[in-house]
Amino acid sequence: MARHDRLRTSTADGTSNIDQPAASWRTYLGGSLGREQYLTFDIDSDGNPEVLFLMGGALLAKTPRDAVRWETEALDLTRIDGLHDLDGDGAPELIASARAGRLHVIRPTDGAVLWTLPAGVVGNMGNVRFADFDGDGVLDLYFADAACGSTGSLGDIAEAYTFAADVGSPTRLFALERGRRDYICGGRDTIVDIDGDGVLEVVAQGRFYFYIYSTTDGSFESESENVGSIPYGQATTVMADVDDDGRMELICSTENNYAPPVNSRRVFVMDWDPTSTTLVKRWERSVGSTLNDRHGWGPGGVFDLLGDGSTEVVTSFYTGSTDSWSTVVLSGADGTELDAVPVGPFRGLVDLDADGTPEILSGDAEVGLHAYGYTIAGGLESMFTAPGTTAVLVRDEPRHRTGSARTRALSLDIDRDGTDELIALRVVAGRATELVALSGATDPPTEVASLSIDAEVKLLTFEVFDSVTRDYAQMVVARSDGYMWVLDDNLQPTNASTTGEISLRGLRIGGYYSGVRGIGTAPIAADLDGDGAAEVLVRDSRGVLRRLGPAGATLVEPPTLDWEIPGAVLPSIVDLTGDGTPEVVLGVGPDPQKLRVVSAADASTIWETAVGTSTRRFTYDIVAGQVGGDATLDLAYQLYETSGGTVIINVLDGSDGSPLWSSDFETVVAGSGLGASALADYDGDGALDVLACPRNLFMWLSGAAGATLASVDAGYPKHPIFHDIDADPALEVLPSGGVYGVRAFENDLTSIWSDTADLHTAVLG
């Protein structure tokens, strides 16, 4: 199978007589929606809003009961950035980002594309912001290239446009001056009047500095003092006047997983200093160890909790040496700790007693979700504890319009008594079993409404929209089985029903997309039962691996379901023993993560080995090859850990699943990237070795023991490709997906040639 072979050759045996592809059968595999991929809008002004959402790169408008109203062509859309009136005519436009640096302005009434950012302005679309830069009372559009080490970026490019005169032909207001930063990211820019002169500025981030630019002409204005590591410009910012000087400050939070000393886990305040005319760091609170501790900052943790005009900052810290959390209330003016409780992580602020000031949420399902009030006399006072409960987050669109904070904890007045209920998830044995609305009037909180969650389904994202199917604010949930439900005030679906003559499962959001490289969620096919016809292995949006039998399937009649494995990832079809009977190798989890070999005929387990905890996940497919020296194929895998940013690699004996290496190979990759491994003979001893792709490296690991044999800068490869490019007896290797260009190496990683002057997206074969 292309890309699933051990050399990542991009070739496969066999021929095809297909000269004009056409669909012969179909089956629904579900779909998913992120927080920034759907909203509601009444496209025909009939009082009944439609749902606008992304599916398969297109934008669709559907009624809540799944009737399609319009659909754009496939535009490779990835994100809905906003619904704003850009030309001041009273009707909003929808702004959506797409791959390859494209940005579209779309009329939401009929899906017409009114304007598209020309190709080549930016390489990848980064943050998109909205603000009135020219003072005409109409929102303008700002965007930046998502550099951050990504393939295809064109660098430190950011521009702003006004659409006031003509939505189809905007005028550029400014472009940021280039060549000023110590690092370029374009994902966390903030629009704010930082110096208090009444004119907005753009504040961008580097690795150690903040950079201020004029929104009049884009010129560089000043560079902050060195504030310590902001790993690759990824501090999340919230704006507030924390010191009552009439100017906004930036409250910055970091929680990264890079290796020390690059890593940062802290909260700090950046303030305009009129004397030095630049930003300075007024105070910070950091973890003791950026390797072992954590900063559990939460959305919206900046507020005047006492209503006295002084702003507080709420956040939390985890100490690894004591395995303990602490949620703290800090003075926004100077960072002084005002109070603390031994609970965490901090989850957000919500007003649960209708007094105008929010309560503090902290904790998770394991320790219980705690709510605290904060008073002058008593400091932090417990309001309630909800066992086995975790908070629900929704998009914070007003804040994200100009800054990088994206979410907030959700509360909603479900029973319409004037007081919000907390919206949360009940968790049992690690699985969310109910969506609940909880009244904070009692301890523990009283359940006002609930929704049971099907056993094999997860609720992916949550939003609240006005009067979708009822005449009040309603929750909308995107489900992992590819359906959207619109809920009523009892948290029951209004657009799904299994009673009566017609069964309706909800609004269908699915659109299967396997990715561009074919290593991962792409369907794979082979004759698994010797009948001469290929079966298909594919993972649906619930995370269930399914074997489908296409014989007799049509566009109306789906294929048969031969078997399924919940929680299985990254399958490959391999004949481990060479007996002509295929097996399927795959990962299953999450606790523990296991590598499993099953019979392709009936999915019965042949063997499985625990290879990691629930904090790790399989990345890329499991590669088969004769590493151990016998006739059985062995299996190389890699597991990534998000919290520590490390990858472990090892090889299992294909006959019984025992490790070939006495200890895992482990290295930090964090945000620097991780590519797929390959198997080839590095040293000519006849046994295969592992070519790994951590960070920017090709790294040879001994197949016998996992020791590092050689490494070279390969430009952040996504995977290697082995091929004989010079007609000698040995294979050469090329990196695919390199940030800085195209390179070719001998098998021993000696450089043959490189083209690093030009950016290339990927080497495909």
Contacts of 730 (CB under 8 A, 6+ apart): 724, 746, 747
Contacts of 145 (CB under 8 A, 6+ apart): 101, 122, 123, 124, 125, 126, 153, 154, 155, 156, 157, 158, 184, 186
pLDDT in tens, 433-455: 999 999 999 999 999 999 999 99
pLDDT given for residue 530 in this prediction: 87
Backbone phi and psi for residue 464, each to the nearest 5 degrees, phi listed first: -125, 130
Q: Which residue has the higher pLDDT, 364 or 754?
A: 364
Distance between CA atoms of 137 and 723, rounded to whole angstroms? 59
Distance between CA atoms of 588 and 432, rounded to whole angstroms? 19
* Listed residue (542, 519, 538) closest to 622, CA to CA: 519
Q: Is the pLDDT of residue 637 over 90?
A: yes
Q: Which residue has the higher pLDDT, 17 or 635?
A: 635
DSSP 445-505: PEEEEEEE--TT--EEEEEEEESSSSSSEEEEEEETTSEEEEB-TTS-BSS-B-SSSS-B-
pTM score over 0.95 = no
* Listed residue (434, 439, 322, 318) closest to 371, CA to CA: 439
Q: Which residue has the higher pLDDT, 519 or 619?
A: 619
pLDDT in tens, 122-171: 999 999 999 999 999 999 999 999 988 666 788 999 999 999 999 999 99
513's tokens: 């997309």
Alpha carbon 230 to chain centroid, angstroms: 20
Q: How far is CA 70 from CA 61, 73, 107, 501, 612, in A?
A: 5, 10, 11, 27, 46
CATH class of 524-714: mainly beta
* Listed residue (203, 201, 206, 202) closest to 185, CA to CA: 206
Distance between CA atoms of 240 and 309, rounded to whole angstroms? 12
pLDDT given for residue 513 in this prediction: 52
What would the mean pLDDT of 533-544 be, rounded to a whole number? 92
pLDDT given for residue 515 in this prediction: 47
The rounded percent of the chain whose pLDDT value lies above 90 is 79
2 pLDDT band, cuts 50/70/90, is very low
530's tokens: 């010797």
Q: How far is CA 691 from CA 681, 700, 721, 734, in A?
A: 9, 5, 10, 12
Q: Which residue has the higher pLDDT, 317 or 684?
A: 317
The 3-state secondary structure of 586-621 reads: EEECCCCEEEEEEECCCCCEEEEEEEECCCEEECCC
DSSP 168-199: TS-EEEEEPPSS--SS---SS-EEE--SSSSS
Alpha carbon 165 to chain centroid, angstroms: 36
What would the mean pLDDT of 258-266 be, rounded to a whole number? 90
CB of 93 within 8 A of CB of 167? yes
CB of 351 within 8 A of CB of 357? yes
Q: Which residue has the higher pLDDT, 469 or 641?
A: 469
Contacts of 579 (CB under 8 A, 6+ apart): none
What would the mean pLDDT of 173-184 be, rounded to a whole number? 96
613's tokens: 């905890």
501 pLDDT band, cuts 50/70/90, is low
Beta bridge partners of 343: none
pLDDT given for residue 520 in this prediction: 55
Element (H, E) at 36: none
Give the length of the chain. 765
Q: Which long-range contacts (CB under 8 A, 24 or more apart) does 337-345 make?
A: 337/285, 338/312, 338/379, 339/374, 339/379, 339/380, 340/380, 341/370, 341/372, 341/380, 343/316, 343/367, 343/370, 344/296, 344/316, 344/317, 344/318, 345/294, 345/296, 345/298, 345/316, 345/318
Distance between CA atoms of 313 and 295, rounded to whole angstroms? 13
pLDDT given for residue 624 in this prediction: 95
Alpha carbon 669 to chain centroid, angstroms: 17
* Burial classification of residue 366, based on how many CB atoms lie within 10 Å of its CB (0-12 exposed, 13-18 middle, 19 or more buried): exposed
Alpha carbon 7 to chain centroid, angstroms: 29
pLDDT given for residue 1 in this prediction: 39
Q: Is the pLDDT of residue 760 over 60?
A: no
For residue 100, the SS3 value is: helix
Element (H, E) at 400: helix 397-400
516 pLDDT band, cuts 50/70/90, is very low
What would the mean pLDDT of 52-78 be, rounded to a whole number? 95
pLDDT in tens, 13-57: 777 888 888 989 999 999 899 999 999 999 999 999 999 999 989
- Reply yes or no: is the peptide bond before residue 592 cis, omega within 30 of 0: yes
Distance between CA atoms of 294 and 327, rounded to whole angstroms? 12
* Burial classification of residue 8, based on how many CB atoms lie within 10 Å of its CB (0-12 exposed, 13-18 middle, 19 or more buried): buried
What would the mean pLDDT of 476-502 be, rounded to a whole number? 91
512 pLDDT band, cuts 50/70/90, is low
CB of 133 within 8 A of CB of 215? yes
* Listed residue (427, 417, 365, 480) closest to 30, CA to CA: 480
pLDDT given for residue 300 in this prediction: 81
CB of 294 within 8 A of CB of 340? no
What would the mean pLDDT of 351-375 be, rounded to a whole number? 96
Mean pLDDT in the chain? Answer: 93
Cα atoms found within 13 Å of the Cα of residue 331, Cβ hemisphere only: 11
Backbone phi and psi for residue 243, each to the nearest 5 degrees, phi listed first: -115, 15
How far the first Cα of the chain sits from its last, in Å, is: 14
